[in-house]
Structure 1
Amino acid sequence: MAKPMEKASIKKADLQQLLNTQVANWALLYIKIHQYHWYVKGPHFYTLHQKFEELYKEADQYMDEIAERILALGGSPVSTTKELLASATIKEDKPGLDAEQMVTKLVDDYERMISEMGHAMEVAEDHGDEGTADMLLGMRSSLETHVWMLKSFLGQ
């Protein structure tokens, strides 16, 4: 049976890994949504162009908040392109998607992140790290609102 200290350090390492996945996902989303912002075309150009700008700025902010939280907890956030790509659970897109495909992929990514944040929140709470759990809850709530709005845009 693990000693209490060993159990705590394992959970801390697990939490930092989960947070690094979030850093990597937000970094990839920043690039992906910025790409959507540049390449969106069609009758919803203006609306989506503005919305994508709002969303990639939010992604940048969240990536920074999580990385700083990792540092505050004594860890090291992933920061190289190689580390980001290896740690992310979402995938890059190539240019050429239509507006509806962009929104659909964004909904899928956000739903994945909502689920992963829920798991990270549970680990943080189990470790007694209410600060991290609260930070993730705010981000998760924002994503849930985005998913609702983006699905409404798609007519779902």
Structure 2
Amino acid sequence: MAQELNKELNNLVSTWSVLYTKLHNYHWYVTGSAFFTLHAKYEELYNEATLNLDEVAERILSKGGKPVATLKEHLELSYIEEATGKETTVEMVETTISDFEKIMKALNSTMELAAEVGDDRTEDLLNAMYQSIEKHAWMLKAFLGNK
């Protein structure tokens, strides 16, 4: 079970890495009347993604595991896809919301694994990440006028 938890944590490392790059893409290429708002928001989000990436990787290391650390592995193991580079501004926001929902699902299942093995510290770490991206998803939905 602990090995399965480590595998899922590595999937999260990969996901945060892909998200970090994707959010940078959106930060650089967002256009239109919402440029200033979204340019700043995407910077906030990619800074948070890098902190989450580092926290999960360090958690793996502290438990005696080895976090995946190549782009090839990250693309193979990630729960989300990289940006296409062709997204419109609205598609960027919609995709970010969708990515956050996929990550929340992965965080939930990984928290369940952590609970099964009695690793409440990992569970707490992932719960904090869940709460943050849940709020971001809500705000982005509000930005688009979604309920």
Residue 60 of structure 2 corresponds to 70
Query: Among 114, 123, 127, which residue is 2:104 paired with?
Result: 114
Aligned runs of 1:6-155 on 2, under 5 Å? Answer: 11-155=1-145
AA matched with 1:109: D
Structure with max Cα Rg: 1
Give, in whole Å, the separation in 2 of the partners of 1:64 and 1:93: 21
Question: 1:96 deviation in Å?
Answer: 2.4
Superimposed CA distance per residue, residues 73-106 of structure 1 (whole angstroms, 9 cap, x where no aligned partner): 1111000111111111200112121111000000
TM-score, scaled to structure 1 = 0.92
| SS of equivalent to 1:140 | helix
Alignment RMSD: 0.6
AA matched with 1:135: L
TM-score, scaled to structure 2 = 0.98
Superimposed CA distance per residue, residues 38-72 of structure 1 (whole angstroms, 9 cap, x where no aligned partner): 00000000000000000000000000000000000
| Structure 2 spans left out of the alignment, 5+ residues | none
Q: Would you identify which runs of 4 or more consecutive aligned residues in structure 1 move more than 3 Å?
A: none
Question: Alignment length, in residue pairs?
Answer: 146
